[in-house]
Amino acid sequence: MEKIFSGKTAEEAVESGLKELSLTREDVEIEVIEEGKRGLFKSIPAQVKLTVKEKLTDGQRAVKFLEGLLPLIGTEAVPVLASEDEKIVIQLGAEGTKGIIGRRGEVIDAIQALAGAVANTGRHDYKRVVVDCGNYREEREETLKRVAEKLAAKAVRLGKRVRLEPMNPYERRIIHSTLADSTEVFTKSEGKEPNRFVVITPKNIRQQDDRKGGRKNGRDRRNGREPKYGSERKKTYEHRDLPSEATPESSGTSFSRSGTPGYKKGGFSGFFGTFLGNANDEEPATKPDPTDEE
């Protein structure tokens, strides 16, 4: 719809037209036909043509955006709005799907993200947008469900956390929903975008760790305190005086050069091992300090 309006100035003509149509400037396209002139004996009124813009739905807006985007990335796919009820579904029709989907869906996921941003422009509540090609989304969803169940069984069998590869929010949601009712595992997303991933954790992981002795210092944990590093067992040894300068040759502690008195090749008697403490001793030389047991 288009209509011509007049006024003393172009601005006055535009305001007059908007008031008559009950529209805003965002709703129309403005074309100035005559700027308007004021003369001494005669004035020429200004004229503008207002064309009402076609109001597109959120899905139609996204499709129109993709029609301009897809040729720029070198694909001849044609976007078609398939549904716009609970979510917006756009199908990409093309002879070959490999270039559109990309490795692990990277290309089609990027297209979907852009389409979602366009469709939700100006909305107060977010509406989900799905861009599909060649039934890729459904097949991918079934694959992720099988992977989730398989890795959940593995986590329970090993009693360990299992980390999945980084996924987009849509695919992570599939993993979470697949295992939401599980009585054996729970899921959690970790990391930061774009490398955020899902971790599957067995609910019995603590019991298995305790049974295998995976957690040390359990006694200290039961007392409500964490043991300090190296405080589990500390050996002490009785003090021994260092040898005097007149050390016998048999002790091997004199390091004079070969041929001088006081040195005998191969004459170490094990003195240093005794003084510094034997690491193979099963019990400390003296009774441990009671504070070591805290």
Residues 114 and 154 reside in one and the same domain: no
218 contacts 227 by C-beta, under 8 angstroms: no
- For residue 82, the one-letter residue type is A
Pairing of strands 129-132, 88-93: parallel
Residues 98 and 158 reside in one and the same domain: no
Q: Is pLDDT at 237 greater than 70 in this prediction? A: no
Residue 64 lies in a domain: yes
Q: Is pLDDT at 248 greater than 50 in this prediction? A: no
Residues 152 and 200 reside in one and the same domain: yes
Q: Is pLDDT at 218 greater than 50 in this prediction? A: no
Residues 18 and 6 reside in one and the same domain: yes
Q: Tell me which residue range forms the domain holding 100.
A: 58-134
Q: How far apart are CA 15 and CA 50, in angstroms?
A: 11
Residue 92 lies in a domain: yes
Whole-prediction pTM value?
Answer: 0.54
Residues 120 and 174 reside in one and the same domain: no
Residue 75 lies in a domain: yes
Residues 176 and 194 reside in one and the same domain: yes
Confidence band of 242 (pLDDT split at 50, 70, 90): low
Q: What is the CATH number of the domain that holds 141?
A: 3.30.1370.50
pLDDT of the residue at 256: 44
Residues 153 and 117 reside in one and the same domain: no
Do you know the residue count of the chain?
294
Q: Of 159, 176, 206, which residue is a domain's last?
A: 206
Residues 125 and 94 reside in one and the same domain: yes
Residue 105 lies in a domain: yes
Residue 212 lies in a domain: no
93 contacts 101 by C-beta, under 8 angstroms: no
Q: Of 161, 191, 206, which residue is a domain's last?
A: 206
Residue 279 lies in a domain: no
Q: Of 134, 161, 179, which residue is a domain's last?
A: 134
Confidence band of 47 (pLDDT split at 50, 70, 90): confident
Residues 100 and 164 reside in one and the same domain: no
Residue 20 lies in a domain: yes
pLDDT of the residue at 205: 77
162 contacts 200 by C-beta, under 8 angstroms: yes
Q: Is pLDDT at 176 greater than 60 in this prediction? A: yes
Lowest mean pLDDT among 60-69, 136-145, 201-210, 231-240: 231-240
Q: Is pLDDT at 114 greater than 80 in this prediction? A: yes
Residues 113 and 141 reside in one and the same domain: no
Confidence band of 38 (pLDDT split at 50, 70, 90): confident
Residue 69 lies in a domain: yes
pLDDT of the residue at 216: 47
Q: How many domains does the chain have?
A: 3
Residues 40 and 75 reside in one and the same domain: no
DSSP lists the bridge partners of residue 5 as: 48
pLDDT of the residue at 286: 42
Question: What is the arithmetic mean of pLDDT over 112-127?
Answer: 92
Q: How far apart are CA 77 and CA 96, in angstroms?
A: 9
Residues 128 and 146 reside in one and the same domain: no
Q: Is pLDDT at 108 greater than 70 in this prediction? A: yes
DSSP lists the bridge partners of residue 41 as: none
